Amino acid sequence: MKQYWTIRTQLFALLLATITPLLLFVAYNIKQQRDLARENALHDTLAHARIISARVDNHLENINSVLRSATALIVRDLSAIKINDEKLRALYSGLPAYVRDIWVMTPDGKPMANRWQTDGKPMANRSIP
């Protein structure tokens, strides 16, 4: 049995044979670009996260240094409250604006020193506001 291909059928087959590899190539390139964009986005996100974590780590180290300084400054005698308050005021002056107060307490909760002031005068009452 003979198959007769008309010119229209032959042209359509030629069109499919020509376009199919091109479409496959375009689809492959789109997938490659998407994968590359995804990889770049992941890389950028990780780099940004590393920068933020380094800032947080640096901030925590700074807070740790301030706490060590406060520990070295404070006299461990409850009768030296005024001396401790003055030392904390001096320490407080070099701290960033987001630090509102500094309190130092004994393990049983008694205040040893603070930097809290009301109307420019040290608080007479040593309870936590």
pLDDT digits (tens, 9 = 90+) for 31-85: 999 999 999 999 999 999 999 999 999 989 988 888 887 778 777 777 777 887 7
Q: What is residue 19's predicted lDDT score, i.e. its pLDDT? A: 96
Cα(36)–Cα(28) distance, rounded to whole angstroms? 12
65: exposed, middle or buried (Cβ count in 10 Å: 0-12, 13-18, 19+): exposed
Identify which has the larger pLDDT, 118 or 8.
Answer: 8
Q: Tell whether pTM > 0.85.
A: no
E strand map for 9-124:
103-105, 111-114, 117-118, 121-122
